[in-house]
Amino acid sequence: MTTHPNTPPKEETPESRGWLREHSELGVGLMLLVLGILVLTDALTMDVDITQRGPVGPKTVPIAVGIGLLVVAVLLSLDVLRGGRGEAEGGEDIDLSEPSDWRTVLLLAGVFLGNAVLIGPLGFPISGALLFWGSAYALGSRHLRRDPLIAAGLSLVTYFIFNNLLGVPLPGGPLMGVI
């Protein structure tokens, strides 16, 4: 995929780097390609002889989807090399003129993962409050008293609505054990 005739020579690192950044959408094509190979491998290694019922077995659709992914991966990459670009999505709170703020995104993802790890041992009321506070902090809120209060209130109210009113169980954790 990288052996396109237009690929600049490797020595000029600054330029080839700029080229890569300009064509970062090729990564989408690559991802689709990997996904396609994954789906096809899974489908072709499937062991179906006993369970087959009807002319179309469990393999057919995955094979079709896998081939589709490969075809789209190639077509999308060609489109990008020809100068096609996917338009980044706009929105009312979105300012596309600024470069992507990766720090915030990574922080948010980290806080979210933290919630996934902590929800078991600490229970939802605590991990949920940390999730809200952490996210608000990552997004730039710096009210050291107001933020945790809102987070704790929201988390407790949500816990009671889901757990007690809607009948959707959430883990209470040690905190609810005390109360």
* Residues 51-90 contacting another protein, CB under 8 A: 51-58, 61-62, 65, 68-69, 72-73, 75-76, 79, 84-89
3-state secondary structure of 84: coil
Site for another protein in 138-167 (CB under 8 A): 138-141, 150, 154-155, 158, 162, 165-167
Cα–Cα distance measured from residue 126 to residue 172, given in angstroms and rounded to the nearest whole number: 9
If you ran DSSP here, which 8-state letter would residue 166 be given? I
Q: Does 115 bind another protein (CB under 8 A)?
A: yes
Judge residue 66's burial from the number of C-beta atoms within 10 Å of its C-beta, 0-12 exposed, 13-18 middle, 19 or more buried. Answer: buried
CA-based torsion, 127, 133, 135, 137: positive or negative = negative
Is residue 104 within 8 Å of 138, Cβ to Cβ?
yes
Cα–Cα distance measured from residue 104 to residue 75, given in angstroms and rounded to the nearest whole number: 33
Based on CB atoms, which residue is closest to another protein, 165 or 179? 165
Q: Which of 102, 144, 177, 178 binds another protein (CB under 8 A)?
A: 102
Based on CB atoms, which residue is closest to another protein, 7 or 104? 104
Is residue 46 within 8 Å of 58, Cβ to Cβ?
yes
Site for another protein in 9-48 (CB under 8 A): 25, 28, 32, 35, 38-39, 42-43, 46, 48
Stretch of residues binding another protein (CB under 8 A), selected from 6-14, 15-23, 137-145: 137-145
Q: Which of 21, 82, 92, 179 binds another protein (CB under 8 A)?
A: 92
